[in-house]
Amino acid sequence: MNQVAVGWWQANPDTCSANLKGSRHGFTGESSRYGTGTSLAAFEGSRAAFSALVAFTFVLLLSPQAWFPVLKLIRIALLAGGIAMAAHVFERTAHRQPITPLAPEIGIALALVFWSVVTLPLSYWPGGGIHLLTDQYLKAIAFFWLLATIITTTDRLRALAWSLTLCAIPLAATGLWHYLSGYVITTSQEGLVRVVGYLGSSGLTGNPNDLALMLNLIVPLTGALALSSRGSTRLFAIAVALLSIAGVIITFSRAGFLSLSATLFMFILVLVRRRSGGAAIALLVAILAVPFVLPATYVERLSTITNLQQDKTGSALGRYNDLRIALDVVAHNPIVGVGLGQDMIALNQARGQSTWRSVHNVYLQYAVDLGIPGFLLFAWLHLLCFRSAWAVEKRARSDPALVRLATLAAGVQVSLVAFFVAAMFHPIAYQFYFFSIAGLAVALKNTYRAEIARTRLVTLDVLAAPRGSRGVEEPS
């Protein structure tokens, strides 16, 4: 039989044929693991693994151990992540399935980790690099891998998106409550009010800039859920999106404003692609009306984006100068960089003073720490994730059965664009933010491939069944 080239979005015809033969003869082994009945569960993977993944997501964003210290004793984040990994490996092994999908994004992420380890002995401070690698970076990569491998159905993708949306409620609500109740930070230089983030200085969203970033990454997914839902569910998603947008604004984060602007602009394009002209116009009108209800101090802070001298805190000008210094550091260490997480030390030496401030640009962080190879690997990973989400939306949009998947793919695209904008102003190269969305991008690709294969195999099983069992009378 001639071999047929198969794209990542297509089910392998030879596999489908083998499964069809297996289901005809009642086989329950390798050839029929995608057949009807319990064999279709192999496409979905372990429910226990997915439940543990959702639990880990809630723990990651909401840090319940901070509210209930007793939970620290059992290390619930490690427990949930460990259960997810163990359940996934056990289920895949039982079904004789690959534990990890053959996705180039996963290969690039592993290459980044490999390069981080290889360059550690040459770094400015190997001990600090090892601590960052084990305490933060590997955990972010593991979460990326879990998302990319465990989520293989549209329902699971939506469930994870809803989980993030629900997490956004306490995050945004806490920020708003802090702002309205006066629980804020006031800078001594100009009396600028900055809201205290979720759980103060701890967690992923303790800093107001990080709170704005996290909400900006979730808003597109919430918007996608609103577009693909109906009735009260749609209204609820819209309400959460509006709450999250308000949460971004009250942080007074300039990077948050730029990311939010990119998100809203991209969402207008999504609505236009979906031929929802009325909704696009309504969103545009709402955007144009926002400046009239913003606090005057917020507008003044935004003006420092284009006028650095107007920023009395000096942070904007300092960060701008750091970009130039970081490029100089890269020029002197173009191959191996200065070591994982060592940009602060390198910038201190280049400045001639100890300000202990990271370069506020994710791409430059990788270039300074891991050299040009590290920068290229991360940029390639970001680009591939966007291309995967784009390809899934384009192909799923033409299939009425996969409309909800197409909408989620559009949401992931917008989140990746929002991160790209935020990455220009945040020192968050090795944290969970990007890898959370990147994992969903890989999951989109695997889900689309599984949904197509599942549909084809069900059709083949129906055609292979005796005509009487299909409710069709045999001709007399």
Beta bridge partners of 195: 184
Q: What are phi and psi of 75, to 5 degrees?
A: 50, 65
Q: Please measure the distance between the N-terminal and C-terminal CA atoms of the chain and give it in whole angstroms.
A: 37
CB atoms inside a 10 Å sphere around CB 190: 13
The pLDDT score that the predictor gives to residue 198 is: 87
Q: Are 35 and 19 spatial neighbours (Cβ–Cβ below 8 Å)?
A: yes
d(CA 270, CA 268): 5
pLDDT category of residue 310 using cuts at 50, 70 and 90: low
Are 143 and 439 in contact, with CB atoms under 8 Å apart? yes
Instruction: Say if residue 303's pLDDT is above 80.
Output: no
Q: Which residues pair with 184 in a beta bridge?
A: 195
Which two three-digit tokens encode residue 31?
């050839």
Q: How many residues does the chain have?
A: 476
Instruction: Convert the pLDDT of each residue in 120-136 to its tens digit.
Output: 999 999 999 999 999 99
**Burial (CB count <10 Å: 0-12, 13-18, 19+), residue 446:** buried
Between 265 and 16, whose confidence is greater?
265
Percentage of residues of the chain with pLDDT beyond 70: 82
pLDDT (mean) for 362-385: 97
State mean pLDDT over 273-281: 84
Q: Could you give phi then psi for residue 336, rounded to 5 degrees?
A: -95, -10
Which tokens is 49 given? 């693994």
Q: How far is CA 472 from the centre of its chain?
A: 47
Angle at 11 between CA 10 and CA 16, to 5 degrees: 155
When mean pLDDT is compared across 32-36, 202-206, 269-273, 305-309, the lowest value belongs to 32-36
Which of these, 52, 65, 53, lies nearest to 143 by C-alpha position?
53
User: What does the mean pLDDT of the chain come to?
Assistant: 84
Kindly list the distances between the CA atom of residue 475 and the CA atoms of 460, 465, 467, 469, 470, in Å, as whole numbers in the listed order.
22, 16, 10, 14, 14
pLDDT, tens digit, for every residue of 64-108?
A: 988 888 888 889 999 999 999 999 999 988 888 888 888 999 999
Give the span between the Cα atoms of 244 and 259, in whole angstroms: 13
